[in-house]
Amino acid sequence: MILDKVNSPQDLKFLSPEELLELSAELRSEIVRVTAQNGGHLASSLGAVELIVALHKVYDSPRDRILFDVGHQAYAHKLLTGRKDVFHTIRQEGGISGFTKVSENQHDAITVGHASTSLANALGMAIARDTLGEDYGVVAVIGDGAFTGGMALAALNVIGGQKRKMLMVLNDNEMSISENVGALGRYFKEYQTNKWVQDTQKWGKNVLEGISPRLFNLVDRAKEAAKLMLHQENPFYAWGVRYVGPVDGHNLPELIHTLERLKELDGPTVLHIVTKKGKGYGVAEEDPIYWHGPPGFNPEKPEKVSKGYSWSAAFGDAITELAAQEPRLFVITPAMREGSGLVKYSQTYPERYLDTGICEDVAATTAAGMGLRGLKPVLAIYSTFMQRAYDQIIHDIAIENVPVIFAVDRAGIVGSDGATHNGVFDIAYLRTVPNVQIAAPKDALELRGMLKKALELGGPIALRYARDSVEKVPEGTWPEIDWAKWEVLKEGSIAYILAFGKTLKYALEAARDNPQVGVINARFIKPLDKEMLEKLALEGYKIVTVEDHQEMGGFGSAVLEALNQMNLKADLRVLGLPDVFYDHGAIPRMHAEAGIDAAAIQRALAELGVGFSLVRD
Amino acid sequence: MILDKVNSPQDLKFLSPEELLELSAELRSEIVRVTAQNGGHLASSLGAVELIVALHKVYDSPRDRILFDVGHQAYAHKLLTGRKDVFHTIRQEGGISGFTKVSENQHDAITVGHASTSLANALGMAIARDTLGEDYGVVAVIGDGAFTGGMALAALNVIGGQKRKMLMVLNDNEMSISENVGALGRYFKEYQTNKWVQDTQKWGKNVLEGISPRLFNLVDRAKEAAKLMLHQENPFYAWGVRYVGPVDGHNLPELIHTLERLKELDGPTVLHIVTKKGKGYGVAEEDPIYWHGPPGFNPEKPEKVSKGYSWSAAFGDAITELAAQEPRLFVITPAMREGSGLVKYSQTYPERYLDTGICEDVAATTAAGMGLRGLKPVLAIYSTFMQRAYDQIIHDIAIENVPVIFAVDRAGIVGSDGATHNGVFDIAYLRTVPNVQIAAPKDALELRGMLKKALELGGPIALRYARDSVEKVPEGTWPEIDWAKWEVLKEGSIAYILAFGKTLKYALEAARDNPQVGVINARFIKPLDKEMLEKLALEGYKIVTVEDHQEMGGFGSAVLEALNQMNLKADLRVLGLPDVFYDHGAIPRMHAEAGIDAAAIQRALAELGVGFSLVRD
């Protein structure tokens, strides 16, 4: 094994071209082997193997900084940077992260998980380097999907104006998680099918040989030379950055050859490479959407497995049925069709479906425009990504009380994706915004009822649910929801637990067989059910609130506010996530550590004097 | 007066070309007259007069929807759409808004104030129109500054893919509020100086006549024709939208001629017009930055007035001095150099200054990159615009505890700019994020001390201050700040008011001459001074918290959380802004209405049983 000899990127410097090719194959095998065990981001990591080998061959990490946009394609990078021995722990409890993470390893230039941030980060680093009089390379690797995000485009605009020395590798694999959409998507596809790319071997040789005397001798002339390579409608040139490409991203010698030369150039350069997601692993090449982030599989006999019935699927089923009843319903997703359960909907109602690509802000404001003109837009979005549409929710939606339903998926701690993906701020940042209502269904049935009711009510309404499985319910079932009213699930004689969504099961577990302790499905977070809350406080019940969300600013905080407003003092414990970021790991362990599981609820009840031996006075 | 005859846009249909020219002149006079009285967005509104007349002549508002990006250039639009009789009330208490506002008038297509939202909104409207089988025009007017915002660029990408019928007028006035920056800025400037534009009269005639048979007969052929007009490096073509221009935006007949033809075209079109900010008013043409949003002036003899010493100026002075002491300090602004008090700094330290243009997300993440590589970035940003960098603050800055100082200007209710500009959510959305610290200086001296200390401490730290004047302090004064400690400004025997920033003066006023009531400068919002809070509660003091921020999720909510965590119950009143949006108006009146002024504090104290006759037991 060549990989056995590689303990840091420096070890690549001494490998022959043949050994580097062999190393690439070994990296691919190892990625498949471990992903088969752990699940993980398979297809994109397979597509980036040669690029990563070439980058580490040509650049000197950690001196040079290599930034991976999104960071989930960097498995080969992890294997080459001293983490091969722990690579089998990726995304596992106590193991290494599935993304690059600054605090994990000196070779990880950014901590990441959300798309389109690498260019601005790289610009900041290049400015820091120049300002401090230092000298190192800054390379951002960004996919074509992430590239359509507004942040990347706007950053490119600033980069074109700043003219700092930096390389941006546009890894064009013709697909983000969902299909790539919009004009740039078409533009990239054009490249995929033009004859240059179809014969990259020949093209690469001829063109690079042809330009090298001019391109690499003098920067000013290089610009002129690069122009010759341009497709006439190439957008990069207009941005004021040098453009080189497209280059076959799986041709390792070609990549190394190109990078070695580009490394010397001053100013900002985009290197456009073309790769195939899932490269080298048949099933992943054929269906890179499923194999983007599969759960564990048999590497010898890879088969798709049904992921169980998720909240996302429950939402997808419900919204597809509702669309039949409500012709004004329109669903928007920022590049999360599969993750949000929208495959069936998008096929059934393609004319009432919009995938904006990775630009959550645009998705939200497009929904605003629709809502202002008579549609009933539903924005399917992950809690963590909704953070990117915060101003748009306030400015374009809430101020005029525009009817937009937010189907907020992946709320709470998400497990293996870690800190960048936890959906643990949404209640705090949404509830402070006037006109916004927030609810959290306890099951698929309640989700259906809430969705239907929300369509009738209008205004901005967020429905929050977890990354989790849920029991499937029959088509056509639409329970009537008593809006803004909580629901007593279990009576208690001394105390009540207020929980919603994922923590309800902990509450029921904590209260089981204990007649003193009641459980309330506090499904409406804004507005709160103040009437019920007042009753509980006036009647002297002890209260424990519990939520899979930051304690600061969350539901418990809202309860404290409401009680204070009503001038009521209750014996109350607020359980939520403490003021830290949670890395990836097992959700039950994190919930226990955070103190929001059944045991923690029982401890809180005990602190309030509730125990099995107590009787209410 | 022609304007006397115009009560709705329909009245423009019957005016002759000469009358329309006269009307334009009258609109300009009226804009100058009223802005001289009230202050307001003068330069951009003067620059858009002919465009607005032409749009209302050609399109049928309110059936057709005309969207003004940012919405501060639309004074002529207000005058033409039934608001000429109330136009003198613009930005005044009880008067009409300085921006377009859906709930104010049926001709205002969007409620707006933040930049770059019009394209996504227009796309949503065009989709709604097509989905509902309706037929009307959708026109977005967007400046070149707003156009460099990521949201606009990403929206254009989706628009290019969607191919809906819509017109985007790129109003290229070579300048956003600050100078236009970046690659697109240079691109637009190139147009400004090319010979086409220098002889627009001739050019417009020839080119439009030349293309009209091809451009306007058939859509498919129009696309080909438009190509002929393209600068070879035109970026729009790459986006998949039709491009027409540049056209002289002050040549009314030319504008009408062009719009009439473009109105018939299917698909998305960008019409690039070139205008001059301040057009027709000498001083505003010469110095459009000052005359962007001047306070009142004498229209006959317009003179710049000193705006007094503001918090922004205090920040600008402090940061310029600190830059001399700290070579790693670097200041970033998203297109708010003047508003953030950075003119002097940017001139003194141009090499440690970056204006990213209007893209707050990019500004924040560029700061992250700088902070990761040894700089000490300071992001000067308005509270309301920081909403646009929320995810970047969490994802790129807070997770790794990157040292970035946020100089958060315009916190609290801002007055004449209204709901879109109020900075009243920042505490709620920031304090829920781990690692983020939030402080609010009481005066310029404390701001200086906090800035200096924050540079030493590292990590993400937000310093929050109001749109207000502040007393100037001598250079070189750097008070030592006892970090995370509150400050007792006045002792009280029974009760304490916890206030910070703008509400401190109300607190002092409420407590004046009352020995029972103390005042604490609760200048650290996160972390709270729990020690002092505990002491107050344990010693039985009654507490009133008061803040110029939403009550939900704000400082008072944090105090409730902290007391609950410490298992303490205090007699406490939380005063903050209620759960509504506040329009423009007089700040003292709004503070009174919201219940956060001195009288409200005294009422709260009275409710807690504090009065002049009480003595502490």
Contact B356 A581 (CB under 8 A): no
The answer to whether A183 and B160 are in contact (CB under 8 A) is yes
Task: Give the Å distances, CA to CA, from A497 to A135, A575, A613.
Answer: 58, 10, 18
Mutation for A interface: B188, B361, B569, most A CBs within 10 A? B361
Mark yes or no for CB contact A154/B153 under 8 Å: yes
Q: CB B366 to CB A155 under 8 A?
A: yes
Q: B601 and B575 in contact (C-beta within 8 Å)?
A: yes
B291 vs B313: CA distance, rounded Å: 18
User: Is there a contact between B428 and B577 (Cβ–Cβ < 8 Å)?
Assistant: no
Is residue A115 within 8 Å of residue A145, measured between CB atoms? yes
Helix segments in A495-538, DSSP class H: 503-511, 530-538
CB contact under 8 A, B102 and A400: yes
Is the pLDDT at A616 greater than 60, yes or no? no
Confidence grade of residue B512 (pLDDT, cut at 50, 70, 90): very high
Residue A190 confidence class, pLDDT cut points 50, 70, 90? low
CB interface of B with A, residues 425-484, below 8 Å:
425, 428-429, 431-435
β pairing state of A65-68 and A376-382: unpaired
The predicted structure's pLDDT at residue A242: 81
pLDDT at site A236: 64
**Cross-chain residue pair A429–B429, CB shorter than 8 Å:** yes
Question: What angle do the packed helices A252-262 and A49-58 form, to 10 degrees?
Answer: 40
Residue A549 has pLDDT above 50, yes or no: yes
The sign of the torsion formed by the CA atoms of A179, A184, A187, A188 equals negative
E strands, B125-165, where? 138-143
Specify the pLDDT at position B43: 94
Distances (CA, A) of A207 to A211, A214, A246, A264: 6, 12, 10, 18
B36-84 residue pLDDT tens: 999 999 999 999 999 999 999 999 999 999 999 999 999 999 999 999 9
Q: How far apart are CA A333 and CA A389, in angstroms?
A: 12
pLDDT at A146 over 70: yes
Q: Shortest CB distance from B387 goes to which of A182, A233, A390?
A: A390
| A543, β-bridge pairs | A496, A572
- Using CA atoms, how far residue B547 sits from B306, B557, B578, B585, in Å, is 29, 11, 11, 18
Range B409-413 average pLDDT: 98
Cβ within 8 Å, pair A154-B157: no
> Lowest-confidence range among A232-236, B78-82, B425-429?
A232-236
Q: Which is the catalytic residue, given B360, B446, B547, B551?
A: B360
pLDDT tens for A200-221 read: 333 333 333 333 333 333 233 2
Q: Is B374 an 8 Å CB contact of chain A?
A: yes
**Cα gap A548→A499, rounded to integer Å:** 9
- CA–CA dist B570, B606 (Å, integer): 15
Q: Is the pLDDT of residue A56 over 90?
A: yes
Indicate the pLDDT class of residue A157, thresholds 50, 70 and 90: confident
In a 10 Å sphere around its CB, with 0-12 CB exposed, 13-18 middle and 19+ buried, how is residue A29 labelled?
Answer: middle
Please tell me which residue, B184 or A264, carries the higher pLDDT value.
A264
**Residues 319-338 in B contacting A (C-alpha not used; CB under 8 Å):** 328, 330
* pTM of this structure: 0.91
Distance of CA B465 to the CA centre of its chain: 15
Q: Closest Cα of chain B to A471: distance in Å?
A: 32
- How far B313 CA lies from chain A's nearest CA (Å)? 25
Q: Which of B111, B367, B561 sits opposite A399 (nearest CB)?
A: B111
Distance (Å) from the alpha carbon of A151 to chain B's nearest alpha carbon? 5
Q: Is the peptide bond before B441 cis (omega within 30 degrees of 0)?
A: no
- Predicted confidence at residue B498, as pLDDT, reads 98
Helix, strand and coil percent figures for chain B, each rounded to 5: 45, 15, 40
Residue B161 pLDDT: 84
Contact B148 A131 (CB under 8 A): no
Q: Tens digit of pLDDT for each residue in B188-207? A: 555 544 433 333 333 333 33
Chain A residues near residue B552 by CB distance under 8 angstroms: 431-432, 558, 561
Please name the member of B153, B428, B561 whose beta carbon is closest to the beta carbon of A432: B428
Residues with Cβ within 8 Å of B116's Cβ and at least 6 positions away in sequence, in order, are: B69, B142, B146, B147, B149, B150, B151, B152, B155, B358
> Which of B120, B419, B429 is closest, CB to CB, to A369?
B120
Question: A with B: how many residue pairs have Cβ under 8 Å apart?
Answer: 408
Task: Indicate the residue of A148, A328, A394 with minimum beta-carbon distance to B425.
Answer: A394
Q: What is the pLDDT of residue B184?
A: 58
Hey, what are A478's tokens?
A: 């639409």
User: Do the beta carbons of residue B212 and residue B265 sit within 8 Å?
Assistant: no
pLDDT at residue B232 tops 60: no
Inspect the interface and report whether the beta carbons of B110 and A574 lie closer than 8 Å: no
Interface of B with A in 132-161 (CB under 8 A): 132, 148-161
SS (H, E, C) B99-115: CCCCCCCCCCCCCCCCC
Residue by residue, DSSP assigns A224-264 as HHHHHT--TT-HHHHHT-EEEEEEETT-HHHHHHHHHHHTT
User: Over the Cα atoms of chain B, what is R_g?
Assistant: 26
Residue A365 is nearest to which of B109, B120, B241, comparing CB atoms?
B120
Best A69, A394, A603 member to test B by mutation, with max B CBs in 10 Å, is A394
Q: Which residues of B touch A132 (CB under 8 A)?
A: 328, 373-375
Three-state secondary structure along A137-194?
CEEEEEEHHHHCCHHHHHHHHHHHHHCCCEEEEEEECCECCCECCHHHHHHHHHHHHC
| Cis preceding linkage at B268, omega within 30 | no
Chain B neighbors of A550, CB-CB under 8 A: 432, 434
Question: CA A77 to CA A80: how far, in whole Å?
Answer: 5
Q: Do A557 and B554 touch (CB under 8 A)?
A: no
Task: Please give the Cα distance from B463 to B411 (Å, whole number).
Answer: 10
CB contact under 8 A, A574 and B580: no
**Which residue reads 């534009």 in tokens?**
B197
Q: How many CA atoms lie within 13 A of A376 on its CB side?
A: 18
Cα distance between residue A64 and residue A137, in whole Å: 5
Decide if A120 and B368 are in contact by the 8 Å CB cutoff: yes
Mutation test of the interface with chain B: which of A102, A123, A153, choosing the one with the most B Cβ atoms within 10 A?
A153
Closest CA–CA distance from residue B4 to any residue of chain A (Å):
31
Inter-chain residue contact B112 with A395, CB threshold 8 Å: yes
Q: How far is CA B288 from each of CA B42, B187, B382, rounded to the nearest angstrom? A: 9, 20, 21
Number of Cβ within a 10 Å radius of residue A518: 22
The burial class, CB within 10 Å (0-12 / 13-18 / 19+), for B617 is exposed
pLDDT one-digit tens code per residue, A266-323? 899 989 888 989 999 989 988 988 999 899 999 999 998 877 899 999 999 999 999 9
If one counts every other C-beta atom within 10 angstroms of the C-beta of residue B456, the result is: 10
- State which of A176-180, B192-196, B421-425 shows the largest mean pLDDT: B421-425
Q: Which positions in chain A touch B431 (Cβ < 8 Å)? A: 428, 552-553
Q: In the numeric block, which tokens belong to residue A164?
A: 């700092």
How far from the centroid of its chain's Cα atoms is residue A77's Cα? Answer: 20
Helix (H) or strand (E) holding B162: helix B150-162
The first and second tokens of residue A563, run together, are 């009680």
List domains and CATH numbers for chain B.
60-72+97-279 (3.40.50.970), 311-466 (3.40.50.970), 487-607 (3.40.50.920)
Sheet with B524-526: strands ordered across: B353-355, B329-333, B376-382, B405-411, B461-466, B437-439, B524-526
Q: Which residues of B25-52 are buried (b: 16+ CB within 10 A; e: fewer)?
A: ebbbebbbebbbebbbbbbbbbbbbbbb
Dig out the tokens for B33 from the structure: 């007259």
Interface probe for A, chosen from B107, B153, B358 (most Cβ of A below 10 Å), is B153
Please state, in angstroms and rounded to a whole number, the distance separating the CA atoms of residues A564 and B574.
8
Per-residue confidence band for A443, with pLDDT thresholds at 50, 70 and 90: very high
- Where helices occur in B194-310 by DSSP H, the ranges are 195-198, 200-217, 219-229, 235-239, 252-262, 282-286
A501 torsion bin: left (phi>0), alpha (psi -120 to 50), beta (else): left
Mutate which of A99, A127, A358 to test chain B, going by most B C-beta atoms within 10 A? A127
Residue B527: exposure state from Cβ atoms within 10 A (0-12, 13-18, ≥19): middle
Residue B352 forms contact with A (CB below 8 Å): yes
Q: Check CB contact under 8 Å for B114 and A238.
A: no
A3 touches chain B (CB under 8 A): no
CB-closest option in B127, B149, B432 to A370: B127
A127 backbone φψ class: left, alpha, beta (φ>0; ψ -120 to 50): alpha
The span from the CA of A145 to the CA of B87, in Å, is 46
Q: Return the SS3 of A268.
A: strand
Which two tokens mark A435? 């006109």
pLDDT higher than 70, residue B517: yes
HEC string for A330-397: EEEECCCCCCCCCHHHHHHCHHHEEECCCCHHHHHHHHHHHHHCCCEEEEEEEHHHHHHHHHHHHHHH
Q: Are A497 and A520 in contact (CB under 8 A)?
A: yes
The pLDDT of residue B237: 60
Chain A interface includes B359 (CB < 8 A): yes
B18 included as an active-site residue: no
Peptide bond into A527 cis (omega under 30): yes
Per-window interface: B 491-550 vs A, CB < 8 A: 550
B353 in reach of chain A (CB within 8 A): no
Closest residue by Cα to residue B171 from B46, B296, B85 = B46
Helices and strands, number each (H, E), in chain A: 26, 17
pLDDT of A227 above 70: no
